[in-house]
Structure 1
Amino acid sequence: MRITKNGWVHRLLRSLSEQAANAENASRLYKFALEDANEGVVIADAEGRILTANETYASYIGQTVSSMSGRHVTEIIDNTRLHIVAKTGRAEFGDLQLINGHWMIASRIPIVSDGEVVAVVGKIMFDDIDRLFAMNEKYKEINKYLHSDMRDKKTSPTRAKYSFSHIVGKSSALEEVKLTAARAAKSGSTILIGGESGTGKELFAHAIHRESVRFYGPFIAVNCASIPEQLFESELFGYKEGSFTGASRQGKKGKFALADKGTIFLDEIGELPLHLQAKLLRVLQEKEIEPVGSIKPEPVDVRIIAATNRNLQELVEEGKFRRDLFYRLHVIVLNVPPLRERREDVPLLIRELLVQLQNELGTEPVTVTPEAEALLMAYDWPGNVRELRNVLERALFVRLGDAIEAGDLSPEVLAGVGVGSRSSKEVSQAVSEAPRHSWKSAMEFHERQLLRQALAEAGGDKQKAAKQLGMSKSAFYDKLDKYGDTL
């Protein structure tokens, strides 16, 4: 969070930038800044040793000006970053800093002469209350995330939980991806997993790790879309003691360090900010990370598996994803097929998901009627396996009998297969004539029902009927040719 950069700090910075080479002028300006400011001001040298401060600053941190002089900033200032700014040469404005139990607004400005940092000016204030409250809300949001992250670490193992046996399905589309993934697991190459949300990309990442030579190492999963942008760098690469406001005195290991000798899974990699993409590229190229506040890189031995539901090639063309990083990730590529492209797996998934739900929810075993299963196979599943699980969970609670019937399915499913406007009783009746001796015949029966209904509602207009069903014109005509006179 940043505040508007105005007032004496910028007069000082501008003047020092113009006159810092003149020691006499710099000294005069230091004195002016200390006497003129009604906020706390401290000045340290390039090594982080305090040169001077005003009484306001000293009182804020519970010191006297004389007791501060000559001491390193980390000895007496809570969560200071003055020494970091002295090394990086990058000014920081409007940070929240916790000092002696009070939140204050801190700014840090390096003084540069002949291209080198010769000193750093720090300022703390407590007068912009409205903005302070706004920043405090942001702090609470970040703090909430950090605490939930700690709870996750206490309860979540760093081992892969799933194997290839947990990826349910016998379709040729899925089997091909599983075979490629199993082969890729034996290599140490970077893997990029593509696929729509809910297709099971994380299952593949777990399974690949379990089949790899790194199986005994940690498996660390990171959802790039769930981390607040302010915490991205420290979460991924860690931080050193006192590297930013609120930082732990012991520092903290980042996800990459935690994954050392193992695998890190970066889900939703397309959400990674551009400046962190450069750091990720460095990990891939140099096998090293640089924690926040560190002055030297640290080696790391980690395999990267990334996943995305976005088209990274398009993001590259839009300037939202680094081209060099894209090619580094694009080594072994797996594309997990959506559920609508492997409908024959739906019955197997239904059985597996019902067993999982019954164990989790404590419900008695139930079955699914052929009519309901035919509808589930006909639906396009935009949310894929995750949506199928949610639909089954809902059906478990709304059913009245020992089996899930067509009328127990969610309105989204019923609308998606063209029977959404009917009552539950009418839905069940509409599909009750479906042949029960095979899933294929049940599917064909229901397809004919949908085609008849769409043509009737479109007044025989085939193009309109195809559009109503969300089908391409060619696919619609293929279906008409398939069923011919039986429609």
Structure 2
Amino acid sequence: MPTQTVTRLIQRSHSRSTTYRSLDELCGGDPQMQDLIIRGKRLIDKGIPILILGETGTGKEYLSRALHAYSERRKGNLVAVNCASIPESLAESELFGYSKGAFSGALSGGMKGKVQQADGGTLFLDEIGDMPFSLQTRLLRVLSEREVMPLGAASPVSIDIHLICATHQDLKTLIAQGRFREDLYYRIAGGVLRLPTLRARADKRQLIMQMLTDELSLNQPAASRNVGDLVEHADQTLSPAALQQMLTYSWPGNLRQMHAVIRYCCAVMSNNRIEASDLPEDLMQLQDLHVSAIINAASFVDTRHQDLSGTRLPALRAFNPALRDERSRVIEALTGSRWNISAASRQLGMCRASLYRKLRQLEIPHVRDQAMPAYSTYSTCAA
């Protein structure tokens, strides 16, 4: 029988199939995410528009939904609009709506636009950088006047919305290129939240286990006697070799790609265990000479010190679990920064001197100027 803890995990995982994680669940164990969530909580009910920045797949929509669910407007609608997916010819009517008889083919009763549908709730404009320039002026007026003028309407309609925008583009570059209005940028960027890339996050192992737990529990029948064991021992479902591959990979598609990879692995694994051979082709290709050299060097214990001191250095297996985790985190930061000590120390939140001391303490030889291979984008990751 599953324990109470496992039952709660299963119920929570099933609920995630239709809803998004809360802010606290998104927080994870990464200091950057923790700071970002704290700022988001402080901003969400202050009437300040929020701009979420981040690469494709970093979870911008997840964060917007979690912010809405945390806010005082959570009983209102969250209306999400992907500005890149709406044809320019339809964008105006989709966003601002139209009245009866506004144009040929219009619905007889007119239509509320997305902005009006979000009245009393939150409007999420994804990929705001792709919004047609002509619509940016109208959106600016909506935000400044707090009212919307549907196509063909005789008078404006008052609205009360909280705005969250997101983009993977550099809006300041678009402004310099004349593709984005500067005044609109300052209107939507009241509070900027920049999501870190997955390759820069310190909690990748925790994220892998969290996604694996979700996938295992969702794919098993609720009454299965094995589901409790699968969820409770998710770390045993992933072989050490497969986990090492996933921790070393650069994840160009970020969280979206990781989720796709874990779903794939759970589908093809045998005997309830994911082996390195079950990983998609791009992750399996990590076993090249460059990465192997770095991993082997990082695990190497220099026995020459034994002759000098007469004292045997502790092997990796002698490290306690806390030091093992810390050692993995340091190696991950080093490989992710191409063994650039300055970049790795910033990621780990310590100075260069402290990192050098940590390398000696954890028996990690410094591999100078070792370049990491260029990783190709995982084919199942949609931009």
Whether TM-score is above 0.5 comes out as yes
Corresponding position of 1:346: 204
How far the C-alpha of 1:376 sits from its partner, in A, is 1.5
Match of 1:471 among 338, 345, 348: 338
Indicate how the Cα distance of structure 1 residues 244 and 361 shifts in structure 2: closer, same or farther if over 3 A, else same: farther
- For 1:340 and 1:265, the matched residues in 2 are separated by 26
Indicate how the Cα distance of structure 1 residues 307 and 477 shifts in structure 2: closer, same or farther if over 3 A, else same: closer
Indicate how the Cα distance of structure 1 residues 421 and 205 shifts in structure 2: closer, same or farther if over 3 A, else same: closer
Match of 2:219 among 358, 361, 369: 361
Corresponding position of 2:258: 388
Match of 1:286 among 142, 145, 153: 145
Whether the aligned pair in 1 keeps the contact of 2:83 and 2:130 (CA below 8 Å) is yes
Amino acid at match of 1:253: K
- For 1:235 and 1:477, the matched residues in 2 are separated by 46
1:242-293 Cα deviation digits (max 9, x unpaired): 2223211111111111111111011111111011111110111101111112
Corresponding position of 1:330: 189
Alignment of 1:28-427 (within 5 A): 161-342=20-201, 344-362=202-220, 365=230, 367-416=237-286, 418=288
Amino acid at match of 1:471: R
Indicate how the Cα distance of structure 1 residues 287 and 416 shifts in structure 2: closer, same or farther if over 3 A, else same: farther
- For 2:200 and 2:91, the matched residues in 1 are separated by 35
What secondary structure is seen at the aligned counterpart in 2 of 1:167?
helix
Q: Alignment length, in residue pairs?
A: 303
1:423-457 Cα deviation digits (max 9, x unpaired): xxxxxx9x999957533445667899x8xxxxxxx
Amino acid at match of 1:355: T
How far the C-alpha of 1:228 sits from its partner, in A, is 1.9
- For 1:306 and 1:328, the matched residues in 2 are separated by 11
Corresponding position of 1:484: 365
- For 1:415 and 1:475, the matched residues in 2 are separated by 28
How far the C-alpha of 1:372 sits from its partner, in A, is 2.0
Amino acid at match of 1:390: A
Q: Is 372-381 or 332-341 further displaced after alignment?
A: 372-381
- For 1:403 and 1:435, the matched residues in 2 are separated by 25
Query: TM-score, structure 1 length as denominator?
Result: 0.56
Amino acid at match of 1:273: P
- For 2:330 and 2:180, the matched residues in 1 are separated by 44
- For 2:71 and 2:343, the matched residues in 1 are separated by 45
- For 2:253 and 2:19, the matched residues in 1 are separated by 24
How far the C-alpha of 1:211 sits from its partner, in A, is 2.4
Amino acid at match of 2:338: M
1:35-66 Cα deviation digits (max 9, x unpaired): xxxxxxxxxxxxxxxxxxxxxxxxxxxxxxxx
Bigger fraction of residues in strand: 1
CA RMSD of superposed structures (Å):
3.5
Whether the aligned pair in 1 keeps the contact of 2:82 and 2:126 (CA below 8 Å) is yes
Alignment of 1:18-29 (within 5 A): none
- For 2:35 and 2:344, the matched residues in 1 are separated by 29
- For 1:486 and 1:308, the matched residues in 2 are separated by 37
1:127-161 Cα deviation digits (max 9, x unpaired): xxxxxxxxxxxxxxxxxxxxxxxxxxxxxxxx985
Whether the aligned pair in 2 keeps the contact of 1:435 and 1:442 (CA below 8 Å) is no
Comparing both chains, which one has the higher relative contact order based on Cα–Cα distances under 8 Å and sequence gaps of 6 or more? 2
How far the C-alpha of 1:356 sits from its partner, in A, is 2.1
What secondary structure is seen at the aligned counterpart in 2 of 1:176?
helix
What secondary structure is seen at the aligned counterpart in 1 of 2:264?
helix
Whether the aligned pair in 1 keeps the contact of 2:27 and 2:37 (CA below 8 Å) is no
- For 1:195 and 1:311, the matched residues in 2 are separated by 10
- For 1:475 and 1:414, the matched residues in 2 are separated by 29
- For 1:183 and 1:311, the matched residues in 2 are separated by 25
Indicate how the Cα distance of structure 1 residues 347 and 239 shifts in structure 2: closer, same or farther if over 3 A, else same: same
